[in-house]
Structure 1
Amino acid sequence: MIAGYTAVVAIVAAAAGVLAIVLGLAGRKPSDLSLAGPALIELLLVAQLVIAIVAPFVGNPPTGNAVEFYAYLVGAMVIPPAAIVWALTERTRWSVVVVGIGCLAVAVMIVRMQIIWTVQGS
């Protein structure tokens, strides 16, 4: 994995999470502003999947358990669309808070994936 890319994804996910939580606690219902963050995170995670597939073939294999890494990645890829569906189904301020919590969860998961890829021994 690329450390810089991981940092960008984690920062974007954390920023989107904080924004959505603030919007939700301020009483805002789901809107383009609150749902753009998870959509962007999903695109970044798809790019992360491509990077993770290509990296071992160019000499950057994971030092940790590859199955654990991909389980985290697939799990992280499920969270943003699920949060968006939840927000569009419920359409309350609390669903926007749930979107924010989902974004923060992805931020934590992406950092853990970096640890599995680079630090954790098999």
Structure 2
Amino acid sequence: MLNALTLLTGVAALLLAAWCGWAAHRDQPTKDWHFIGMAVVSLLAVVQLATGIVQLARGEKPEQGTTIFVAYLLGAFACVPAAGLMSLAERSRWGSLTVAAGGVVLAVLEVRLYDIWGG
């Protein structure tokens, strides 16, 4: 299940990045709808974090080590909320661009999580 969840989270992060990137292109700050999108992507990251911890608790082991896997899980969990908080501090197009960058970073973290698990 972790592979499907990783793919879903990565695609959702890229969609969020494109949406906020389009808002930045149109010189708009992040709006309420963007924060709803961030909440959805963050919820997927929370589910992924919980699923990864449960798999580790059941005795399954990532191919490249547990410590690095947990570190990437925590990074993926914190990525979009951190970008959202920074966009609140910068209420201009740069806030939207920050969230777009956070979505791209999350998608890259998802690819790396897939590799670490042994996909």
Structure 2-normalised TM-score? 0.90
8 A Cα contact 1:63 1:117, kept in partner: yes
Please give the per-residue CA displacement for 1:34-57, whole angstroms capped at 9, x wherever unaligned. 222222121111111111111134
2:45 and 2:32 map into 1 onto residues whose CA distance is 20
8 A Cα contact 2:2 2:48, kept in partner: no
Task: Look up the match of 1:48.
Answer: 48
2:111 and 2:99 map into 1 onto residues whose CA distance is 19
Counting aligned pairs with the same residue, the percent is: 31
Helix, strand or coil: the match of 1:103?
helix
2:3 and 2:43 map into 1 onto residues whose CA distance is 18
Deviation of residue 91 (structure 1)? Answer: 0.6
The runs of 5 or more residues in structure 2 that have no matched partner are none
8 A Cα contact 1:29 1:96, kept in partner: yes
The runs of 5 or more residues in structure 1 that have no matched partner are none
Deviation of residue 19 (structure 1)? Answer: 0.8
Task: Look up the match of 2:6.
Answer: 6
Structure 1-normalised TM-score? 0.88
Task: Look up the match of 1:90.
Answer: 90
Residues 97-106 or 84-93, more deviating:
84-93
Task: Look up the match of 2:71.
Answer: 71
Count residues in correspondence: 119
Are 2:38 and 1:38 equivalent residues in the alignment?
Answer: yes
